[in-house]
Amino acid sequence: MCCCEKKDPKQEALEALLAKYKGQKGALIPVLQQTQDIYGYLPKEALQQISRELKIPLSEIFGVCTFYAQFHLSPRGRNIIRVCLGTACHVRGGAKIFERVQQELGIKDGETTEDLRFTIESVACIGACGLAPVIMVNDDTHGRLTPDQIPDILAQYE
C-alpha cells in the first residue's frame, strides 16, 4: 500500500478487533457480533479473515453464523421491519398487514429492498398484544393497524 492510500475504516476496525481477541478461547461469537456491528452484516471476506486470524476453520464459522438467527450473511436494510404474526396479531389481521408490507416494498419475508432501505422479518411475538396487529420499524412500535395505514408508516422512514 502506498503511503498516500487510506485504509478502509471498517477494515481497520476489524483488524483492531481481531488483535484484541487473538489467542482467546471462546472469542468467536463476540468477534462475529462486533464484526456485524462494524459492517451491518457478515461479509465473506471478513469471515475469511476471522478464520485466518483466529485459526478456526471457515466451515465452523459458517456453521455458527447459520445456526444463530442474530447473524446475517447479506446486507440488511437501514430500517428493519418486524411484523408480528403471533396469536393476538393473527386473530386481528396480522397476515393482511404482512401481505401489505410485502406488497408495498416488493420483497418477501427475510428479504431486503435493492436500495437497502428496508428489510422485512416476520416474528412470533413482539410483546404488544394489546395493540394487535403490530409492526415494529427499528425501535418504533405501530399498533392497531389496518393495511391502509402501511404506506404512510413506511413513508416516515428514509
Indicate the pTM of the whole model: 0.80
Q: What is the pLDDT along the chain (158 residues), one digit of tens a residue?
A: 555 667 899 999 999 999 999 999 999 999 999 999 999 999 999 999 999 999 999 999 999 999 998 999 999 999 999 999 999 999 999 999 999 999 999 999 999 999 999 999 999 999 999 999 999 999 999 999 999 999 999 999 98
Is 129 marked as binding a ligand? yes
Q: Where are the domains of the chain?
A: 9-67, 79-156
Distance of CA 97 to the CA centre of its chain: 21
Is residue 54 a contact partner of residue 21, using CB atoms and an 8 Å limit?
yes
Q: Is 67 left (phi over 0), alpha (psi -120 to 50) or beta?
A: alpha
What pLDDT score does 73 carry?
A: 95
What pLDDT score does 4 carry?
A: 60
Please enumerate in sequence order all residues whose Cβ is within 8 A of that of 85, keeping only pairs 6 or more positions apart, or say none: 94, 95, 98, 122, 123, 124
What pLDDT score does 3 carry?
A: 59
What pLDDT score does 6 carry?
A: 76
Domain 79-156 CATH assignment equals 3.40.30.10: yes
What pLDDT score does 104 carry?
A: 98
What pLDDT score does 87 carry?
A: 97
Is 84 marked as binding a ligand? yes
What pLDDT score does 12 carry?
A: 96
